[in-house]
Amino acid sequence: MKKILVTGSLGQLGKCLQDISNQYSDFEYKYVDIDELDICDSKQILDFFHDFKPDFCINTAAYTAVDKAEEDTQKAFDVNANGAKNLAESCLEYNTVLIHISTDFVFDGAKTTPYKESDFPNPISIYGASKWEGEKHIQSILPKHFIIRTSWLYSPYGSNFVKTMLRLAETRTELSVVNDQIGTPTNALDLAEAIMHMISKHILFEQRKQGIDFYGTYHFSNEGYCSWFDFAKKIFETNNIKINLKPIPTSNYPTPAKRPIYSVLDKTKITNIFGLEVKNWEESLKTH
């Protein structure tokens, strides 16, 4: 039985992976968070890998406080860059395939067409820079890796835009939301399904000795695109909440970290190679 290690198991994606694990019962799972496995501690990782010997490691552990990272730079790089490096080194030693979750924030948002995996990153925030540094470590250390960049993640767990909007609507009759940042919401459950689909396909490719060069970087989000204002509007419509929603420009809502103005991700590569069917973001929001 193949073994899967999931780091960051208390986060949004970690929880969603646990939710669907019974659909993939031919794997043995080990879910760990920072209390059980600190990815910043290379020796602890090596010891853990020595005991568990995972065939796959899904790294969902990350420093994701985008604005706080502008001040807490060292911590962001420790987790997002050095943590990724530590995992890659242990994966190399134990012949483990690493599935690492990255972000649309590695891009500067200067494009007006969806970002492809071949587009060169140019992060404009500490968070984005730390995630890009982690990607580079993995690429240089470990041939057997999948880096999956995603965007605007939400789920029933943790902190995310959907939960924030619903919480604010409980006490407010009016909200202003940015209307000039364009991207794509991603249901974490859909991302979890995509990851497990990729792992299953990977095993199939290996068994058939097809020799497909499928390792590398991929983009995954739901299909379509919208502004944060559009996203909020659809959240309230879906939940039958009436609220006065006002669009505002980014300049009216300054934040410590810069956000990409445009960060729609092109999913052609992941759909072609792995045969994934990707739901539209509006459709997927209804299942949240």
Q: pLDDT digit string (tens) for 92-113?
A: 999 999 999 999 999 999 999 9
Look at residue 146 and tell me whether its pLDDT is greater than 70.
yes
Look at residue 210 and tell me whether its pLDDT is greater than 60.
no
CA nearest to 24, candidates 149, 200, 163, 255: 200
Look at residue 206 and tell me whether its pLDDT is greater than 90.
no
Q: Within a domain: residue 119?
A: yes
Structure tokens at 94: 């134990």
Look at residue 214 and tell me whether its pLDDT is greater than 90.
no
Q: 177 falls in which pLDDT band (50, 70, 90)?
A: very high
Q: Within a domain: residue 180?
A: no
Q: Report the alpha-carbon distance of residue 99 to residue 247 in Å, rounded.
A: 37
Q: Report the alpha-carbon distance of residue 208 to residue 205 in Å, rounded.
A: 5
**Residues paired with 178 in a beta bridge:** 248
CATH number at residue 12: 3.40.50.720
Say if CB 265 and CB 186 are below 8 A apart.
no
Averaged pLDDT for residues 215-234: 97
Averaged pLDDT for residues 22-38: 95
Per residue in 45-71, pLDDT (tens digit) is: 999 999 999 999 999 999 999 999 999
Per residue in 244-280, pLDDT (tens digit) is: 999 999 999 899 999 999 999 999 999 999 999 999 9
Give the pLDDT of residue 202.
76
Task: Please name the residue ranges forming H helices in the chain.
Answer: 12-20, 42-52, 73-77, 83-93, 126-141, 161-169, 188-208, 228-238, 268-274, 281-285
Q: Within a domain: residue 148?
A: yes
Which residues lie below 8 Å from residue 134, measured CB to CB, with a gap of 6+? 80, 81, 83, 84, 85, 100, 102
CA nearest to 104, candidates 44, 164, 174, 191: 191
Torsion of CA 193, 199, 204, 207, to 10 degrees: -160
Q: Within a domain: residue 253?
A: no
* Containing structural domain, residue 106: 2-158+185-223+264-279
Q: Report the alpha-carbon distance of residue 280 to residue 218 in Å, rounded.
A: 18
How many structural domains comprise the chain? 1
Q: Within a domain: residue 16?
A: yes
- pLDDT over 90 percentage in the chain: 93
Q: 191 falls in which pLDDT band (50, 70, 90)?
A: very high
Q: Report the alpha-carbon distance of residue 10 to residue 32 in Å, rounded.
A: 8
Q: 287 falls in which pLDDT band (50, 70, 90)?
A: confident
Say if CB 178 and CB 137 are below 8 A apart.
no
Tokens 């996203």 correspond to 231
Q: Within a domain: residue 258?
A: no
Q: Within a domain: residue 131?
A: yes
Give the pLDDT of residue 193.
97
Query: At residue 108, what are phi and psi to the nearest 5 degrees?
Result: -90, -10
- Angle, in degrees to the nearest 10, between helices 83-93 and 126-141: 20
Q: Within a domain: residue 47?
A: yes
Q: What residues act catalytically? A: 127
User: In whole numbers, what is the pLDDT of the chain averaged over residues?
Assistant: 95
